Structure 1
Amino acid sequence: MKKTFYSMLLLCVFFSQNLLADDTPKKTQNHLKDLNLKGNVKTFKLTPYKAVDYFGKIIKGNKQDFWNGDVVIVFDQEGFKTETNRYNKIGQLSQKVIYKYDEQGKRTTRDVYNSFGKVQVKFLYVYDDKGNKVAYNSYSPTGELNDTYSYVNDEKGRILEELWTKSDKSFGSKYTYKYDPKTNHLIETCQYTKSETEIDNCTRYKYNNKTGLITEIEIYNSENVLIRKTVISYDEKGNEKSLKNFNKDGDFIDEKEYSYVYDNNGNWIERTEYVNQFPKSIIEREITYY
């Protein structure tokens, strides 16, 4: 997890790197569950548009300024991600990522290829004898070790610490994770970028006891002072309905609301975002099934 979950939500969850993340501190049965996708999904594509108010009717405008091309994710029939294909603005493949797994469903490799089919970087996953991930290493096309991510796990196999070491052996960053002893929910993530001992910020999470969904996210600075809070509500399908943001004093900042169009499998295929009731974006999801 290279960014906090809070940032993932506020910076458009479906286009942040966390959407395509390959490491999370929690363990799930498959990647479809992580994305709240239902049914036997084969491919998944997102396209972001600007939302336009046309005589009271909200319609799609041009693609968002940050859009550099579509991203298509491919899943196997067990729901695990096998490919991530990135395309440029004219629809040409610019990058392909291929994921492989062992018989237990643990990812073993992540290979990144350019548009010419040449490997650019290779990632290898290392597990201990209990099946817990202990390292995630990147290599150059010729086999030289680049960056290394090492992990500390507890007796339940949950990640407690992630340490990034750069190719020159210098410190990159560190993340620590805490869990609720009763529910096993992730309740705190702390980020270190200056040193292994100096905290930048911590993100804390509160959950709905029945659904297990996150209802509050609080960001604290290095002095453990609250700097921002987000309150989240969901629709009956488990998708975000609204995000209300507050500053350190509890004053309201803004509210993001979402409306959805669903397919026959219960997956949303269009999401409209409003900020303080003003339409801002429309995201289309193209989903295919086995």
Structure 2
Amino acid sequence: MTKSIVLLFLLSVSTIGYSQSLYTALHMNDGKEYKFGRPKQIIEENTFYSSTHTETAKNIKVFDAAGMLLTEERYTQDGILTAKLTYINDTTRHLKLARIFERWLKYGRGKEIATNQYDEHGFLIGTIDSTAHGKLIDVVKIVNNSKGDPIELVLFDANNNPFGKETAEYNYDKNTVVTSVFKNDGTKLSSDTAKIRFTPATISEEDKSNYNQYNDAISYSTKNLNGSVNLYECEYRYDKTGNWIEQKTYIITLKSNGKKERQLNKIFKREITYR
């Protein structure tokens, strides 16, 4: 499978970067933190490796009684709290209504609020980002198709000036979506193809070898802006409920002799407390 990184244009122009990509909007309410059971809390320890250093971050996620993410605290490897996210949820319709984003910076504390807008069918049609004092930061407007999947996203600044546009074309038979990012003058900046869903029923026969029995990816690729491709492989450990508690990801390098070399890229560990 391919994970898109070409949407950084839209993500980088927003202070919050909450739903400023069609792919994020498509999966806004999926709840991908776990697959089985009803967690009360998940403590994450994420370690990233490079040729020069190793960095570890810690996240503490708390879930409400409906199983939706309620708060997330982010810490440095030294245990310093850097950010807290608080979600306001509609537990009946299983929709995220708003997110409060608090950050502790070197020179003070910042607080921003992202409010989601839905139509009468529960389809996401926009997001309004503002400061804690109500000052507008930016506005996202989304157009959906008849299935409720987003096909167009436009980001506006506080003065209602458009920053750019993103479009999506869906091929439901192949479970793929092609997303394209455009400048205001219509110039295409980039495009990429990604999977629409990741349920067992939507995985094609040719892709099944990339997933294990828990429907977690064991191999995937990412495409860089210059067109080059990175290959990855993953290993997992699971708890008795079926959720993974350790994920090791390796960067794969193909040698001229046909052999492959694996280099450890990151290790994610999770301590899950269930209700």
Per the normalisation by structure 2, the TM-score is: 0.72
What does 1:257-276 align with in structure 2 at a 5 Å threshold?
Answer: 257-276=233-252
The aligned residue for residue 226 of structure 1 is none
The aligned residue for residue 83 of structure 1 is 71
* Distance in 1, Cα, partners of 2:204 & 2:34: 13
Residue-by-residue CA offset, 1:180-215 (whole Å, 9 max, x unaligned): 3557x45211122x3262211211236899632489
Residue-by-residue CA offset, 1:42-88 (whole Å, 9 max, x unaligned): 22333233679xxxxxxxxx9833x4x31222222322111121123
CA contact (8 A) 1:123 1:138 kept: yes
Closer, same or farther in 2 for the Cα pair 1:96/1:275, shift >3 Å?
closer
The aligned residue for residue 84 of structure 2 is 96
Instruction: Kindly provide the amino acid, as one letter, of the partner of residue 89 in structure 1.
Output: Q
Q: CA deviation at 1:165?
A: 0.9
Q: CA deviation at 1:167?
A: 2.2
* Distance in 1, Cα, partners of 2:26 & 2:148: 9
Closer, same or farther in 2 for the Cα pair 1:253/1:158, shift >3 Å?
closer
CA contact (8 A) 1:205 1:216 kept: no
CA contact (8 A) 2:138 2:155 kept: yes
After the TM superposition, which of the residue ranges 131-140 and 203-212 deviates more from structure 2?
Answer: 203-212
Instruction: Kindly provide the amino acid, as one letter, of the partner of residue 246 in structure 2.
Output: E
* Distance in 1, Cα, partners of 2:73 & 2:26: 25
Q: CA deviation at 1:110?
A: 1.1
Residue-by-residue CA offset, 1:227-251 (whole Å, 9 max, x unaligned): xxxx98111111111235799xx9x
Between the two proteins, the alignment pairs up a number of residues equal to 245
**Please, which of 133, 136, 140 is the counterpart of residue 145 of structure 1?**
136
The aligned residue for residue 24 of structure 1 is 24
Closer, same or farther in 2 for the Cα pair 1:38/1:278, shift >3 Å?
same
CA contact (8 A) 1:272 1:279 kept: no
Closer, same or farther in 2 for the Cα pair 1:179/1:79, shift >3 Å?
farther
User: In angstroms, what is the RMSD of aligned CA positions?
Assistant: 3.9
Unaligned runs of 5+ in 1: 9-19, 53-61, 218-230
CA contact (8 A) 2:4 2:193 kept: no
CA contact (8 A) 1:190 1:203 kept: yes
The aligned residue for residue 7 of structure 1 is 5
Q: CA deviation at 1:111?
A: 1.1
Identity fraction in percent: 22
Q: Indicate the SS of the match to 2:121.
A: coil
Closer, same or farther in 2 for the Cα pair 1:122/1:177, shift >3 Å?
same
CA contact (8 A) 2:98 2:114 kept: yes
Residue-by-residue CA offset, 1:216-268 (whole Å, 9 max, x unaligned): 99xxxxxxxxxxxxx98111111111235799xx9x96642221111111111
**Please, which of 170, 186, 198 is the counterpart of residue 187 of structure 2?**
198
The aligned residue for residue 118 of structure 2 is 127
CA contact (8 A) 1:30 1:78 kept: no
* Distance in 2, Cα, partners of 1:260 & 1:177: 32
1:238 corresponds to 2:215: yes
Q: CA deviation at 1:148?
A: 0.6
* Distance in 2, Cα, partners of 1:95 & 1:161: 30
The higher relative CO (CA closer than 8 Å, separation ≥ 6) is in: 2
* Distance in 1, Cα, partners of 2:206 & 2:190: 16
Q: CA deviation at 1:121?
A: 0.8
Residue-by-residue CA offset, 1:137-175 (whole Å, 9 max, x unaligned): 011222111111111112222211111112243332322
* Distance in 2, Cα, partners of 1:254 & 1:140: 38
* Distance in 2, Cα, partners of 1:238 & 1:78: 23
Unaligned runs of 5+ in 2: 7-16, 253-260
Instruction: Kindly provide the amino acid, as one letter, of the partner of residue 145 in structure 2.
Output: D
Per the normalisation by structure 1, the TM-score is: 0.69
The aligned residue for residue 99 of structure 2 is 110
What does 1:47-62 align with in structure 2 at a 5 Å threshold?
Answer: 47-49=45-47
CA contact (8 A) 2:5 2:223 kept: no
